[in-house]
Amino acid sequence: MVCETKIVADEHDATIPGTKKDAMLVSSSHALWSSGSAALSPGLEERAGDARRRDAVFIREFERGDHGEVRRIFNEGIAERIPNTAFRGLRQQPKTQFLYALLTLMCFVVTKSFTLTCCAPFILMGARYYYSRKVILSYLDCALHTDMADIEAYYMKPAGSCFWVAVLEGRVVGIVAAQGREDDNAVELRRMSVDARYRGKGIAKALGRRVLEFAVRNNYAAVVLGTTAVKMAAHKLYESLGFRRTGRSDDYRLPGMSRTALERLFFQIRHSRYRLQLREE
């Protein structure tokens, strides 16, 4: 699973520089200030410049000192998936809804107890939360012991891969990775996540564009990604960047899943695949 966590699309556009080592500056108030700056007095113009700097997002490559904040953002983003998958995700599983309704009905038929029958849906939801937490934390542990344990080795050293962080007000607030694939000449967008306190500022879109520009500079034919995001904001973000959905699985298997009968009963997750074709080969 590609961990995109909760990603919020933004209405502002940004320009991404043309070299990998360049940093990127995105200001959500750029258009407003640029159109009226000529009429501002020196004092107001200085204050306007300060406001722009406070609201600016600086995107740069990952550095070793970022590791703690990167892990924190990744951990929090994955943890958000637990209730989302357990409860909101059920709306994407009509077969499971029917099965739970049938189990509730069977409870009444067997016990003839209205009290137990009324409790059955809460027991089922509690079981969903338990198994969602179990599976997602297992996936998180797997990720933290593979690529997220050594970002430099996985993303910074190999040719065709990179990892970026978004910095706002002097702190890391977003992350994204690009991993090149030689078999189909595509780059995979991975590990996108934005700190919950800084969403709605165009950070996710700027990070996504950074990956697209990286792919173009390195002559990849396409950018691909996979997501298990439940909320539609993530899917709308990908579509706004030009991605098109190419496939979907309603019973995706995450790394770390045991696939026991109870786990299959109480944990299901939808996986969507997206692709943006940059050029024909």
User: Mind listing the pLDDT tens digit for each residue in 17-41?
Assistant: 333 444 444 443 333 333 444 444 5
pLDDT at 37: 41
Of 143, 161, 28, 19, nearest to 78 by C-alpha is: 143
pLDDT at 254: 86
How far, rounded to the nearest angstrom, does the alpha carbon of residue 225 sit from its chain's CA centroid?
10
Taking residues 80-98, report their average pLDDT. Answer: 92
**Is residue 151 scored above 70 in pLDDT?**
yes
Q: Are 131 and 152 a contacting pair, CB within 8 Å?
A: no
Least confident of 37-41, 44-48, 227-231, 232-236: 37-41
pLDDT at 255: 82
Residue 128 CA to residue 228 CA, distance in Å, equals 16
**Is residue 153 scored above 60 in pLDDT?**
yes
Q: Give the DSSP letter string of 221-265.
A: SEEEEEE---SHHHHHHHHHTT-EEEEEESS---TT----HHHHH
| Rounded (5°) CA angle 40-45-49 | 145
pLDDT at 56: 84
Structure tokens given for 42: 């020196």
pLDDT at 26: 44
Alpha carbon separation from 32 to 27, 68, 169 (Å, rounded): 10, 35, 20
Total-model pTM:
0.78
40: which DSSP letter? S
Taking residues 159-167, report their average pLDDT. Answer: 96
pLDDT at 205: 95
